[in-house]
Structure 1
Amino acid sequence: MKNIIILCFVCLVTISDTNSSSDGKEKCEGIYVRDKFHKKVVIGMGLNRPYQLAYDHHNHKIFFSYNIGKDDEDSFQIGFLEKGHIKHKVLKEVENGFAIAINNNDNVVYFGGSDGIYKQHLKSNDSVIEKILSHQNIWDMFFKHHLYFIAYPSQKLYKYEHRQNKTIPEHQKIIHEKIFQFAIDGDEDKFFTNETGLYRIKNSTDHRIFYEGPKVYRAIEIDNKGVPHFSGQNGIFVVNKKNDTLEKIAHVKNIFGLAFDNDNNIVYSDPHEIVKLLPEDC
């Protein structure tokens, strides 16, 4: 009997140790961002691979693109979640809608699909969705000062620019190759991904910096403080500009999209849900 009690005690100590961190404190079940526990709050469900998250800071809407085809095909549609509603609504005006970008300063959202780019003013729910560019198949978009988009299948980067009462797409020759994502951070540094990984081009230069790490990324998102975040398949990363390294701040399995709400909380998507991470004591 005494040997059994000792054995049980050893087992309990072992189990307790597996739930402890290196400093001896027990760790909670959940997601840690920069070693701080965050509670997962599901705000959208029943979706098939929601990509391209974009957060409307005025109306607290979350726009996204998701697959409406079969598992072996890609056919996309743009949806959105309104504040307090877990059931999404569908935006049917954009054919094969895949890309989204928001200008939160002017309350304008841009939608990209297989037949061009559309925009909508967000101040009223009944504002019209108007087409602003035709004959382009849009892969990805980003807004800062101007609207940038990546065309498909060329995967080239363009800036949508006003010139002499005309609005034309201008090829950004500083990035000459095929790319997958593009963004500009608070320092006006440019970030992009290609088939070899993640790069930064410093503001007002053409100097490239390559970041060792994942080769495949699914999103680049700038938070409310101007800090770029990168979603790999199984984690969220930021860059350390002092030593030009990539740092993993959260381990999240099968992440697809990334955004930030008004309070700079992380919003991300996995294959079937959209989740908000809220810091919490445990």
Structure 2
Amino acid sequence: MEPALLGSVISTLFPSRAEHTPPAMRPHPVASTEAPVPVSEGELGAAILRLRSKNKAPGPDGIPGKAWVVSSVALGERLRRLFSACLEQGKFPMARQVYWWSEDIAELRRAAIAAQRESSNHRRRRRRDTTLDDTLYETYRQAKKALRVAIAKAKVQARKEMLDSLNRDPWGRPYRVARGKLRPWAPPVTETMEPALLGSVISTLFPSRAEHTPPAMRPHPVASTEAPVPVSEGELGAAILRLRSKNKAPASIMAISSSILLILTLFHGLQAEKVVCDGIIFNHVYFDRELLVNNLGRPYNLVMHKFSGLLFFSHTVQNGTHADFLITTCHIDKRTCSNVSGVPGGYAIAYDAGNDDIYLGGHDGIYKYNFLTKSADFFAEEGKSIWGLFVRRNFYYIEYPTQKLRVYQDDEFLPVAEAINIEVDHFFISKHMDIYFSNRTALYKVEKPKKEAIVLSDEVVIRQIVEDSYGDTYFCTSDGIYIEDKPYHRIKKVAHIVQAFGLTFDEHDQIVYSDRNAIYRLKPSKVGPLCYEVLTNPAEREDLERIKDTLIS
């Protein structure tokens, strides 16, 4: 085409406009320079606990999950450093790829893992944006869904390709897959033939030739004159451990790998101090107990002021000839405690998160804690005996002995109309604005926007209702700790504690609870997986003790 004609066509099809501004292109995202977050002890412990099932097949390494659970006592810190180094360097051991694997699926998997870690790390923050939290979780959910869909499509496509290849290559991958499933059901034919017949067949198939010279064979190695290496304790322990399985076939690489891990764990236990499993199993995870305060009389109403590290609680004391209540505050890290003066018969405690204030209740009214003077100042309801306090959007209190619930409205405390004919022992409103209350009859829940009370349980004695930073509601009862089992309108037990009296969470969301005489904090345990197996499986404990005694002797 002539240049003039070409220019005329282009100018006609794409006329230039002086006032037109092309849209700005979206800039390329800048790669993050931040170092990846290392694997924490909690993440490693949770991963190991997911492997503790005895009825699942091992992974590509051939090591069953139970072996990892028991060996994590000795190898846990080394594994954590190894996984953190893999994340930091971006290098991971190559596993055998499945037949449907592709680079696109690998990229989707990396995106899903990155979205999961970003969402989990954001949820662990003490102060977080709930909108961003929901956005990150939705991003992770969509990435996970895309990965599942891609894997399903890849499996269907791979199966179709394998079926199509039957005609093209009958001795290819389909044949090898079928051969891999076959097992010999009888001895070879040559083992059942008569020697004379076998010799005749061989001589016919492979006739001897006079001119043929067979190749020289490799000479046999000269026997060593050195003394053999003695059997080590590790070899003996490995042999013993291979015999402990009663229902599985021996002589496999899986058994050898498991034995090595268990042997390392046992010798680690022999060389280190004696492991004592006297902690608590909370929601299927073993925790060590850290004693915070001792020699108390039934510590009730545990409330944590997270910014100061002060733990407020009420407990019974002897006041002359009768028992009374006293509110005490303790710094859980410094282990210093002091009694709060100015609140006669102090029992009720509440935290106002909106204003960062602590309110206290006693025999003659409501008080406000003064962090400067470390004492209480009178606030309201003079002469009223306060049984319970709660602050969220509104100010509530329970009057004793009528057990009536009151709320602050129009510059005064008025009875709650919905509960005017109901006795209330404990009252709580969650972050999701669900209402919980209990009395001597049962534990109830009122969901928003419904106004009907639902019975969650009528078999427990509630002593405190709290929630963690994630908005999960927990119930401290006389026989342990329960959590709401949504959406079934019931509660399930997550910890067995004899005579539990109070429950709260510290600034790191670690559980703080009280029994009849003391207050404890639950901390992650280095021997958590091992102690969990020992406490939940008596047979496992007997086996480990028997093997340990054998190795020592």
Task: Give the TM-score of the pair, scaled to structure 2.
Answer: 0.44
| 2:186 pairs with 1:186 | no
The 8 Å contact of residues 183 and 222 in structure 1, kept in 2 or not, is answered as no
Question: How far 1:259 moved relative to its partner?
Answer: 0.8
In structure 1, C-alpha distance between the alignment counterparts of 2:375 and 2:346, rounded to whole Å: 18
In the other structure, the counterpart of 1:16 is none
Return the letter of the residue paired with 1:197.
A
| 2:409 pairs with 1:169 | no
Bigger Cα displacement from structure 2, 29-38 vs 205-214: 205-214
In structure 1, C-alpha distance between the alignment counterparts of 2:337 and 2:375, rounded to whole Å: 19
Structure 1 or 2: more strand by fraction: 1
Question: How far 1:105 moved relative to its partner?
Answer: 3.4
CA gap of 1:240–1:117, structure 2 versus 1, over 3 A, is same
Bigger Cα displacement from structure 2, 105-114 vs 24-33: 24-33
In the other structure, the counterpart of 2:353 is 104
CA offsets per residue over residues 225-271 of structure 1, 9 Å max, x none? 22211011111001122111211111111110111111111111111
The 8 Å contact of residues 103 and 144 in structure 1, kept in 2 or not, is answered as yes
The 8 Å contact of residues 340 and 376 in structure 2, kept in 1 or not, is answered as no
Alignment of 1:32-47 (within 5 A): 32-47=281-296
In structure 2, C-alpha distance between the alignment counterparts of 1:194 and 1:50, rounded to whole Å: 20
| 2:333 pairs with 1:84 | yes
In the other structure, the counterpart of 1:229 is 474
Match of 2:490 among 231, 237, 245: 245
Return the letter of the residue paired with 2:496.
H
Alignment of 1:14-25 (within 5 A): 23=54
Larger Rg: 2
Return the letter of the residue paired with 1:42.
L
Match of 1:267 among 502, 512, 528: 512
In structure 1, C-alpha distance between the alignment counterparts of 2:367 and 2:288, rounded to whole Å: 35
In structure 2, C-alpha distance between the alignment counterparts of 1:126 and 1:97, rounded to whole Å: 15
Question: How far 1:106 moved relative to its partner?
Answer: 1.7
Question: How far 1:212 moved relative to its partner?
Answer: 2.8
Return the letter of the residue paired with 1:242.
P
Gaps of 5+ in 1: 1-20
Bigger Cα displacement from structure 2, 251-260 vs 216-225: 216-225
The 8 Å contact of residues 101 and 111 in structure 1, kept in 2 or not, is answered as yes
In structure 2, C-alpha distance between the alignment counterparts of 1:230 and 1:140, rounded to whole Å: 16
CA gap of 1:160–1:102, structure 2 versus 1, over 3 A, is same
Match of 1:52 among 286, 301, 317: 301
The 8 Å contact of residues 456 and 491 in structure 2, kept in 1 or not, is answered as yes
Question: How far 1:142 moved relative to its partner?
Answer: 1.4
User: For 1:119, what is the secondary structure of its paired residue?
Assistant: strand
Question: How far 1:130 moved relative to its partner?
Answer: 3.2
In structure 2, C-alpha distance between the alignment counterparts of 1:147 and 1:81, rounded to whole Å: 25
User: For 1:134, what is the secondary structure of its paired residue?
Assistant: coil
In the other structure, the counterpart of 2:383 is 135
Structure 1 or 2: more helix by fraction: 2
CA offsets per residue over residues 33-58 of structure 1, 9 Å max, x none? 11111111111112111111110011
User: For 1:174, what is the secondary structure of its paired residue?
Assistant: helix
In the other structure, the counterpart of 2:366 is 117
Q: Give the share of equivalent positions with the same residue, in percent.
A: 28
Return the letter of the residue paired with 1:69.
Q
In the other structure, the counterpart of 2:315 is 66
Question: How far 1:125 moved relative to its partner?
Answer: 5.1
The 8 Å contact of residues 45 and 272 in structure 1, kept in 2 or not, is answered as yes
The 8 Å contact of residues 53 and 257 in structure 1, kept in 2 or not, is answered as yes
Deviation >3 Å, runs of 4+: 21-29, 70-74, 124-128
CA offsets per residue over residues 162-192 of structure 1, 9 Å max, x none? x2xxx21121122231111010112101001
